[in-house]
Amino acid sequence: MSPDDLPLKALLLPFDDGVLPWPPQGRIVFLRARAGWPLQRHPLTALVAEQSLRPLADALQQAGVDVHPHLDDGQSAALVLVLPPRQRDEARALFARAVAMAGAGARVVVAAANDEGARSHERDLQALAGLDGSLSKFHCRVFWTPPLAGAHDAALAAQWRLADAPRPILDGRFSSRPGVFAWDRIDPASALLAAQLPASLAGRGADLGAGWGYLAAEVLARAPGVRALDLYEAEARALDLARSNLSAPTGTTLGFHWHDVTTGLPDDGYDFIVSNPPFHAHDRGDRPGLGQRFIEVAAQALRPGGRLLLVANRHLPYEATLARAFTGVQVLAQGGGFKVVEALKGGASQERAPRERAPKEWGSKQRAAREWGSKERAR
């Protein structure tokens, strides 16, 4: 557990203090689970965790927890633990699933940080299934239902689950759902990058941090020479949407990978990579190191002469990482606080690359990149 993960500590507090018993037998379900030492103080052999964010799922697996990106609601549990997300529709649907999973006499126990909607979550759980107790500590609230035996508002549960269901967005062009990044709109940074995608992109490509598939769809629409496109996304809920949102043109292969890009890619030799990398962790804290790592991984996965097309907030410190990893960097566009950067990977085969992969004017691009870097450092 990171020092900042106080909701996890609060969630286990009633069991640590003896206010609630840890079930001696039966299945224990943990929704939106996270690993940490408070969890290790309790028997984990009966624990089954659901976590759709790959880095957190990997940490649970390393801690010896049985973890899945999605659990079937059909099997009942003796206890259901929940760390709800901030997005209210997604959290309400999670509560509805939690009470559906709770077997006869089982409780649903929830914890959230005060500044992440703890009071709203508490009121929602009370409206759905009633409350039997609560505690406030670590700038968090933990609260729980009475022992359940099908005693909850079934109509409200059905309504909340429907509110989290995938639905058409953008005049039906795509499908999305609450809780994923920019779920009901085109993110302005991605839109800026999409407008700069050249029709000359060809061969094998990858989208790092693909979300629900907007950028990948734009690549396929604008670049007919693309023959394979791999989508890498850490959030399984978003990747499932991307699968439904994309259809491959004839002769093009699509790959969908539930993967933490910061660990490196399982494949390389890409002709191009596009990315709108994240710069927030699951706890919503700024993590510019995430984007820097995406750049390093992209450089490792590109073939010599391949190119990266990246969008980022203008203030993020990516210039030094780009300069180390690539031989040529230029800013293609700026607007709305964002910048689109094109970077070329050097190497022995660069001179043999097709024109669209290593244009002759690259020397002027390098000079422009150096001038841009100087200006940025001077700001």
| 1 lies in some domain | no
| 58 lies in some domain | yes
| 201 lies in some domain | yes
Diameter of the chain measured on Cα atoms: 72
319-332: per-residue pLDDT in tens? Answer: 999 999 999 899 99
Residue 305 pLDDT level (bands cut at 50, 70, 90):
very high
User: pLDDT at position 116, please?
Assistant: 93
Domain finish residue from 163, 182, 213: 163
- Average pLDDT over every residue of 255-267: 96
* Count of structural domains, the chain: 2
SS3 for 304-358 is: EEEEEEEEEECCCCCHHHHHHHCCEEEEEEEECCEEEEEEECCCHHHHHCCCCCC
Of residues 190 and 349, more confidence is placed in: 190
Residue 344's CB is within 10 A of a number of other CB atoms, namely 25
Quick one: 217 and 241 in the same domain? yes
Distance CA 3, CA 335 (A): 36
Domain finish residue from 107, 142, 163: 163
Residue 3 pLDDT level (bands cut at 50, 70, 90):
low
Distances in Å between the alpha carbon of 360 and those of 173, 203, 305, 354, 363?
Answer: 38, 20, 12, 10, 7
Quick one: 275 and 349 in the same domain? yes
Look at residue 140 and tell me whether its pLDDT is greater than 70. Answer: yes
User: pLDDT at position 248, please?
Assistant: 85
3-state secondary structure of 54: helix
Q: Decide: 233 and 208 in contact? Cβ < 8 Å.
A: no
Quick one: 110 and 186 in the same domain? no
Quick one: 222 and 238 in the same domain? yes
| 36 lies in some domain | yes
Residue 359 pLDDT level (bands cut at 50, 70, 90):
very low
Report which residue type is found at 122.
E
Quick one: 151 and 258 in the same domain? no
- Residue closest to 196 by CA, chosen among 308, 28, 325: 308
Look at residue 377 and tell me whether its pLDDT is greater than 60. Answer: no
Quick one: 63 and 139 in the same domain? yes
User: pLDDT at position 109, please?
Assistant: 98
Look at residue 279 and tell me whether its pLDDT is greater than 60. Answer: yes
Quick one: 154 and 297 in the same domain? no
Quick one: 178 and 314 in the same domain? yes
Q: Show contacts of 158-161: CB within 8 Å, 24+ apart.
A: 158/96, 160/89, 160/92, 160/93, 160/95, 160/96, 160/128, 161/93, 161/96, 161/97
Q: Decide: 377 and 354 in contact? Cβ < 8 Å.
A: no
Quick one: 111 and 130 in the same domain? yes
What's the start-to-end Cα distance of the chain, in Å?
38
User: pLDDT at position 75, please?
Assistant: 79
Quick one: 173 and 80 in the same domain? no
Quick one: 254 and 274 in the same domain? yes
Range of the domain at 55: 6-163
| 276 lies in some domain | yes
Report which residue type is found at 31.
L
Percentage of the chain lying above the pLDDT 70 cut? 88
Domain finish residue from 129, 163, 197: 163
Which of 10-14, 88-92, 332-336, 374-378 shows the lowest per-residue confidence on average (mean pLDDT)? 374-378
- Average pLDDT over every residue of 148-165: 89
Which of 24-33, 56-65, 154-163, 345-354 shows the lowest per-residue confidence on average (mean pLDDT)? 345-354
Average pLDDT in the chain: 88
Residue 373 pLDDT level (bands cut at 50, 70, 90):
very low
What CATH number does residue 76 fall under? 3.40.50.150
Quick one: 301 and 339 in the same domain? yes
- Which two three-digit tokens encode residue 184? 């009901």
- Average pLDDT over every residue of 261-276: 96
